[in-house]
Structure 1
Amino acid sequence: MSAEEQKTQPPPAAAGAADAAPKEPKEPKEVILGEDGKPLSKGELKKRAKEAEKAAKAAERAAKEAEAKAKKEAEEANDLAADNYGKLPLHQSQTRTNTPRLNFTTLIPNSPSANTSTSTEIPSETQKVTLRARLHNVRAQGAKMVFLQLRQQTHTLQGVVGLSKDGEEEVVSKQMIKWVNGVSLESIVLVEGYIKPAEVKSCTIQTYEIQIKKIFTVVEAPQRLPFGVEEASRPEADYEKEDAQFARVGLDTRLDNRVMDLRTPTNQAIFRLQSAVTNLFRTHLNSLGFIEIHSPKLQGAATESGASVFEVNYFKGKAFLAQSPQLAKQMCIAGDMERVYEIAPVFRAEDSNTHRHLCEFTGLDLEMAIEEHYHEVLDVLDSLFLAIFKGLKETYSHEIEAVRKQFPCDEFTFLDETLKLRFAEGIQMLREAGAKNLDGSQLSDSDDLSTENEKWLGRLVKEKYGTDYYILDKFPLAIRPFYTMPDAEDPKLSNSYDFFMRGEEILSGAQRVHDPEYLIQRMKEVGIAPESMQGYIDAFRLGAPPHAGGGIGLERVVMLFLKLGNIRRASLFPRDPKRLNP
């Protein structure tokens, strides 16, 4: 470096000069004061920072929710399928369009239970149909499709709601699918769509389904039900499986919630079959010249055993609920009506808590004048039962099969010519098999049959003769009611008979004593004071023709034909010593 350059350079700084230079002043820390005017501690500051962060996140979340809500409202406003689903207004018969409604039985060729007012032709794939049904089940397939099971009584049909458009118009939208998926089971829905061939194993109708384009709720069921129809329809055997993941719906629970229970396909079938029995009973007897009568159910005195009668107040006196139409039937025969029958309630105040007894049941009763022999009546009754059994099998096979799904059993069997055994023959079969009386004594020809021996005899008859239905004739007079006519040849026997199904009695009948003086004699023989039943005796003083008849328990016939195991399953609203509701 030249001397000149050296002159122009500043002199070197003295050691430590940098340290001696003045520092920039620091920003004073912000002091946050509390409500008491003192600075907040570090802990309080952190707490406030967290609260501020939390509030910011909440505000951000609220903003997103508001944005999502606005988006949803915009989507709903733009839902072109909005008119194709939803809840209908309260049904007050506002309009009547006479739009035909599809009955599921239309989809089952030759179905005997089809509604005759509905066309039996299966709709074409291009033909729009409308139907009303219960929503039996719902199964979503993502956000674009949902499968429904629609139920009409004993039948189920698959419905499909799938995302679809008709040109620019959205027929089924995502919003509609989401709504359908949220409809509560057992709601009543009104559906519009097209019937298409399909293979469906989960429904009773397995060759068709409905492609749904519109669906509305007519009546919405609650989300929480006492039990599900699917749950109450399981076969009894399912509960016995080791891996069973569900609880049995008990009979008391079913009866306490009978409306729900009646919706099961099993019960729908049971009470259709019960209706069929009464219809076949009425039709067959009408064809034989019988007329239907309607007798009073309020009586001035007990018509049978005084111990089994319901007593009720009747103005300033007392009355009794009829234990049978016995007296009324016989009075009609004395009134020259020749052949009569009645379908009506019967009341028995018996404290019998068994599988086959009720305090109120439906009696199918008949009475007819005879020309020469009481077997004329026995033959009419036999022809009646055969007509009922054949009618059920020929016309109601679908209903029988529906019941068997839940209550599997052997098919009810009967012979073309009904087996008729004398009471003594039945007793002999039981003796040979080792049966005894309840007290352990040997069976004699004059002993009545206990319930267990009745069932035992039924098994013996089934094994030997191959029939579930048979008749026992000529019961001992000592075990029959006083009004039973004794046998002309053997006074220890009577002109009486019982009919049996699966080893249990379903009809008891006999030739009646029609002579008033002989009736008085019979009453005295069994220890009944004639004056206590003067009205009954007087019914025959004007002259009554020889006659016989019988009484059938409707619920017992249905229970035994279907082998339900308990008569309460065959009674719409059972009345027994422990149940008076619903």
Structure 2
Amino acid sequence: MSAPSDEGLPSRPKEEAGEEKGPSKSALKKAQKDREKAEKLAKRLALEEEQRMKAEASDTAKHLYGPLSGQSARPVKKFCKSLQDLESVAEDEEVTVQARIYNARAQGAKLAFLVLREQEHTIQVVVAEGGAHGISRQMIKYCAGVNTESFVRVTGLVKAPKDPVHSTSLSNQELHLESLYVVSPAEEQLPLQVKDCIKPPSTREEGEGEADTNDPNATLKTRLDNKILATRAPATNAIFQLQSEICTIYSQYMLSHGFTMIQPSYLAGAATEGGSGVFEVTYFERKAYLTQSPQFFKQMAIAGDIGPVFSIGPVFRAENSNTKRHLTEFTGLDYEMPIQEHYHEVLSFGEDLMLHLIRQLLSRPKSKHLTSIIRDAGYPDAGNFQVPPEGTKATRITFQEAKTLLKDSGFDIGTDPHADIDTAQEKALGDLIKQKYNTDFFTIDQYPLSLRPFYTHPSPSNPELSNSYDFFMRGQEIMSGAQRIHELPMLKEMMKAKGVNPVDPGFKDYEEAFRYGCPMHGGGGLGLNRILQFFLGLNNIREATLFPRDPVRLGP
């Protein structure tokens, strides 16, 4: 029987155009390889996890390290609040300290070395396998991998190293680790390394200027942008420790001389000292202003019979000055006191205050130690500040004597005897005074009345001069002061002469201080940041300010 013929059967339809074909052989092959890779990866991860679990299960030291949170930490026998306290701990005594990881490195699988840091103090920690507590290799690996700057709690035995550890400040001691718990971990990638802030920033910057690419150290701008990390550098930390010392010495001196500390307001309802130089703020449904100084409040306190007063607080200046010695907010050390006979009582008191302050900074053990840390970090002028010997008064010259000294030294001071001394001339004057009197601190007395504010008392002997003065360190101003006008008729007359309207808002309460009788008085306002800057010879006032504010910086 013959096979049936295809003849007459309908033909198979052709594939329509654009119809999808099945996966190609190459695509199928690639998919197969991807599946195999994924399976291998999964097996490898599972194996690693299994090995990790086994290692963890066999790790007899797992209770001796790890995050402190949720960890059953070993009980503390002896807690040292500072690394420096370790110097008085006997060898082989167990102690617990809290500090930062400054450096961590493994020396093979059985040994690692850590360096702990607390301010300027550092100590080496030895992490060795075995020991009384059975330190494991897993623990050694963990300790060597803790991120730099992490805050840790370390317990160990105090030991004397075989050879002094010259890379740490506690060179004759080290800790042999028994446990390590991470109190707070630092991120692995830091925006700034603390070691890059050990030396001073480049002096080529003006204000916050551009980075100096030839300088391996972090620039001032980088430090200001990363203030928390930068402040951990020993010298930077010491600068602000010394700032605290200045405030302490100042307060103790004022209290010992019968002054009362007051807390003036730093908000005012009117721009009483010039509208262009104040910061305006919203105060509920009306305007208010940050005060340029506690000047009016100090005078009101004198009129209120509180007696000689002083304060430590912020001063705000809305001036668009981007220089190395100007800020829009700084700390003022202000004082005001009654006058018995002559305004030089106030001037002499201020001079004695400054000489005492500087001499204390140069002689007190803590201040000397802090200054030495700063100097050794690369600030050669730190502590190298000259003042007259004990029992000697400060160098004082008049405004006209200052101009004569400049003129005799070849400076062009112009023909106007009442023209102010500019910044460059002040610095030059500082050098001249240093050469002539061997001092970095001096005062200038009897400024022209035209250069001083309306509340400055005129000189009774010369109406063109005033009972006012400025203080200088290394030829740069740190204070303006004066006798204030205490009689209301004269005050109103001077206000009008200076273009100040006595009936303007903000002056009513100020005038009130003089309506019912007020003693003669005077005072001044010292700039804490400038005192610190010029005593240490810092290039920029921002280095002497924890959180500087200037026309372009409002953080951190």
Map 1:365-444 to 2 at 5 A: 365-393=334-362, 394=364, 395-410=366-381, 411-416=384-389, 417=392, 418-437=394-413, 442=414, 444=416
* Equivalent residue, structure 2, for 1:183: 146
* Equivalent residue, structure 2, for 1:252: 221
Find the residue that maps to 2:548 and give its secondary structure. Answer: coil
* Equivalent residue, structure 2, for 1:525: 497
* Equivalent residue, structure 1, for 2:509: 535
Shift of 1:338: 1.6
1:215 and 2:191 correspond: no
Residue of structure 2 aligned with 1:136, choices 83, 96, 102: 102
Alpha carbons of structure 1 residues 90 and 76: separation in structure 2 relative to 1, 3 Å: closer
Deviations along 1:386-443, one digit per CA (max 9) or x if unpaired, are 2222222223222112222334222122112221112222111111222235xxxx26
* Equivalent residue, structure 1, for 2:518: 544
Cα-Cα RMSD: 3.1
Larger Rg: 1
Alpha carbons of structure 1 residues 239 and 229: separation in structure 2 relative to 1, 3 Å: farther
Shift of 1:78: 2.4
Deviations along 1:101-134, one digit per CA (max 9) or x if unpaired, are 34123246xxxxxxxxxxxxx1111211000001
Deviates more, 1:192-201 or 1:504-513: 192-201
* Equivalent residue, structure 1, for 2:128: 162
Residue of structure 1 aligned with 2:534, choices 553, 560, 576: 560
* Equivalent residue, structure 2, for 1:80: 60
Give, in whole Å, the separation in 2 of the partners of 1:213 and 1:245.
44
* Equivalent residue, structure 2, for 1:309: 278
- Checking the alignment, whether the CA contact within 8 Å between 2:64 and 2:74 is kept in structure 1 is no
1:149 and 2:120 correspond: no
- Checking the alignment, whether the CA contact within 8 Å between 1:431 and 1:443 is kept in structure 2 is no
Give, in whole Å, the separation in 1 of the partners of 2:282 and 2:81.
50
Give, in whole Å, the separation in 2 of the partners of 1:105 and 1:488.
59
- Checking the alignment, whether the CA contact within 8 Å between 1:148 and 1:160 is kept in structure 2 is yes
Deviates more, 1:227-236 or 1:352-361: 227-236
Find the residue that maps to 1:448 and give its secondary structure. Answer: coil
Map 1:56-67 to 2 at 5 A: none
The aligned length equals 510
- What percentage of aligned pairs have identical amino acids? 43
1:286 and 2:234 correspond: no
1:486 and 2:452 correspond: no
AA partner of residue 471 (structure 1): T
Give, in whole Å, the separation in 1 of the partners of 2:143 and 2:329.
44
Deviates more, 1:154-163 or 1:285-294: 154-163
Give, in whole Å, the separation in 1 of the partners of 2:420 and 2:369.
39
AA partner of residue 337 (structure 1): I
- Checking the alignment, whether the CA contact within 8 Å between 2:202 and 2:217 is kept in structure 1 is no
Give, in whole Å, the separation in 2 of the partners of 1:364 and 1:527.
29
- Checking the alignment, whether the CA contact within 8 Å between 1:516 and 1:538 is kept in structure 2 is no
Alpha carbons of structure 1 residues 57 and 409: separation in structure 2 relative to 1, 3 Å: closer
Alpha carbons of structure 1 residues 159 and 387: separation in structure 2 relative to 1, 3 Å: farther
Map 1:328-367 to 2 at 5 A: 328-367=297-336
- Checking the alignment, whether the CA contact within 8 Å between 2:78 and 2:95 is kept in structure 1 is no
Shift of 1:81: 2.1
* Equivalent residue, structure 1, for 2:85: 106
Find the residue that maps to 1:396 and give its secondary structure. Answer: helix
Shift of 1:97: 7.2
- Checking the alignment, whether the CA contact within 8 Å between 1:126 and 1:194 is kept in structure 2 is yes
Shift of 1:59: 10
AA partner of residue 555 (structure 2): N
- Checking the alignment, whether the CA contact within 8 Å between 2:66 and 2:182 is kept in structure 1 is yes
- Checking the alignment, whether the CA contact within 8 Å between 2:154 and 2:179 is kept in structure 1 is yes
* Equivalent residue, structure 1, for 2:240: 271
Alpha carbons of structure 1 residues 489 and 94: separation in structure 2 relative to 1, 3 Å: farther
Structure 1 gaps, min length 5: 1-43, 109-121
Find the residue that maps to 1:307 and give its secondary structure. Answer: helix
Shift of 1:56: 11
* Equivalent residue, structure 1, for 2:10: none
Residue of structure 2 aligned with 1:477, choices 449, 454, 469: 449
Alpha carbons of structure 1 residues 66 and 323: separation in structure 2 relative to 1, 3 Å: closer
* Equivalent residue, structure 2, for 1:455: 427
Deviations along 1:275-317, one digit per CA (max 9) or x if unpaired, are 1111111111000000011111111222312220112222332
Shift of 1:74: 3.8
Give, in whole Å, the separation in 2 of the partners of 1:342 and 1:469.
23
AA partner of residue 67 (structure 2): K
Find the residue that maps to 2:263 and give its secondary structure. Answer: coil
Deviates more, 1:146-155 or 1:449-458: 146-155
AA partner of residue 519 (structure 2): P
Give, in whole Å, the separation in 2 of the partners of 1:184 and 1:59.
33
Residue of structure 2 aligned with 1:513, choices 478, 485, 489: 485
Shift of 1:385: 1.5
- Checking the alignment, whether the CA contact within 8 Å between 1:81 and 1:173 is kept in structure 2 is yes
Find the residue that maps to 2:352 and give its secondary structure. Answer: helix
Alpha carbons of structure 1 residues 98 and 284: separation in structure 2 relative to 1, 3 Å: farther
Task: Give 4+ residue runs of structure 1 displaced > 4 Å after superposition.
Answer: 54-73, 93-99, 235-240
Shift of 1:226: 0.4
Alpha carbons of structure 1 residues 150 and 239: separation in structure 2 relative to 1, 3 Å: farther
